Structures are given as C-alpha cells and as structure tokens.
Amino acid sequence: MKVIISENQSDKIKDKILNLIKKQGWDGASKILGISKLKIMKMIDYDINDTPLFGLFPLLVEEISKGDVGNSGEITGNYKECEIVIDWYDDDDYGVYWACPIKDEDKEPLTVVTFAFPNFNKGDVYVDNGHCYIDDTYNNMSDYNMSDYNVKTIKYDIPTHFNDYDELRDWFHNEYLPKTHKIILKQGEEILKQLKEKDLI
C-alpha cells in the first residue's frame, strides 16, 4: 500500500525532527529515531552544500559502524574484513585509517594499517601504508614498519562536489570502499611477500 504524505504533514514531520535535534542534539536524535544522521539531514532537506564534505565523510563511516561511537569521538566502521577508523586529532582535523588482515597460510594474518584520507579539496585519496603487525598472542606482537619493506603509495582521483546525499552515499559505497579495499589488499600481499623474502616472518 502506498502512503501519500501531504506537504503540510511533511512540514510538521520536519518541524518535529528539528525540535528533537534542538533538544537532544544530532547524536541523540539519531539514536531516538533509529536512523543515521545523514538520513536525518535528507529528511529535513538540509542542504548538502551547507556542510563541508570533510564533515560529512565521518557520518558515512558511522553508518557502517557496528557499535556506538567511542568516548574519544573515534568512529570505527566495518567493510568486509577491514576496520575503518576515523581518528580525530582535533575538533577540525581527523585521519582515516584502515586495518585489514592479509591471510597467510603459515602464520596468523598480517594486519596492515593504512592511511586513506579523502581530500575533497584536492580531489584525491592517497592510499599510504603506515605499518603492519602479526598478533600471535595478546602479549607477543610482531610489529613491522616501512624500514622493513617498501610498498608503493597509490593515489586516485575523487569528486570534489556532490549534488545530494544519495550521490555522496553512492560514491562512498560503490567507489571509495571497494577501490580503497582492493588497493590495500594488493599492498598487503606485496608487504607479506617482502617480509617473507627477508625472513622477517
């Protein structure tokens, strides 16, 4: 059955949501309504151009999060076998890190930690590995960094503007996530190969 909402009813819904945001804040309104902040923005016709893309990207990661946002404001999302972390350095600055396990037949998976920040001002993403580790047991972690291997940083172009929230979400799910994931796995396989060649693992 199709439900038709009049313009007057739609305005009343928007007003109620706006009042809820005023009383509870964006986080509270999102929890009460059981929907993401981006979906709320779309429901109240919040102009996508009123918030920099830098500010909207963490909300995309929050949508794929399996849990609540931590006390530090750190947001952890999940894509396939990887964790994506938004790590706030300051109120207006954050990093985007991926932690992905690379399967190995002989050992525990090698987890690669990679920086993949979308710079919407410049229109690019640098997929730059930072370090990797093998965690055999809680107290025995083998840690490796760029002095142990050499893997190429990959850059690819991204849009600098989106017309609406659906276009932004579509780019995130169908371009940023799969493309970055593919690059990281390829880098991880190369890192694993180099570490084995040097008998480091």
Cβ-based burial of 109 (10 A; exposed 0-12, middle 13-18, buried ≥19):
middle
Domain edges within the chain = 1-46, 50-197
**For residues 97 and 180, what is the distance between their CA atoms, to the nearest angstrom?**
11
Query: For the chain, which ranges sit under pLDDT 50?
Result: 1-3, 68-71
pLDDT of residue 103: 87
pLDDT in tens, 26-64: 777 777 877 777 787 777 777 788 788 998 898 899 888
User: How far apart are alpha carbons 114 and 73 in whole angstroms?
Assistant: 20
Q: Which residue has the tokens 């190969």?
A: 193
Residue 90: partners with Cβ closer than 8 Å, 6 or more residues away: none
Query: 176, 59, 199: which is closest to 127 by C-alpha?
Result: 176
Do residues 158 and 123 make contact, with C-beta atoms less than 8 angstroms apart?
yes
What are 81-100's pLDDT values in tens digits?
A: 999 999 888 777 899 999 99
Task: Say if CB 102 and CB 191 are below 8 A apart.
Answer: yes
For the chain, give the DSSP string.
------HHHHHHHHHHHHHHHHHHHHHHHHHHHTS-HHHHHHHTT--GGGS-HHHHHHHHHHHT-SSPPPTT--EEEEETTEEEEEEEEETTEEEEEEEEEE--SSSSPEEEEEEEEEETTTTEEEEEEEEEEEEEETTEEEEEETTT-----EEEE--S--SSHHHHHHHIIIIIHHHHHHHHHHHHHHHHHHHHHTT--
- For residues 32 and 10, the answer to whether their CB atoms sit within 8 Å is no
pLDDT at position 105, please? Answer: 77
pTM of the full structure: 0.82
pLDDT for the residue numbered 57: 92
Gap between the Cα atoms of 84 and 103, Å rounded:
18
- The predicted pLDDT at position 24 comes to 73
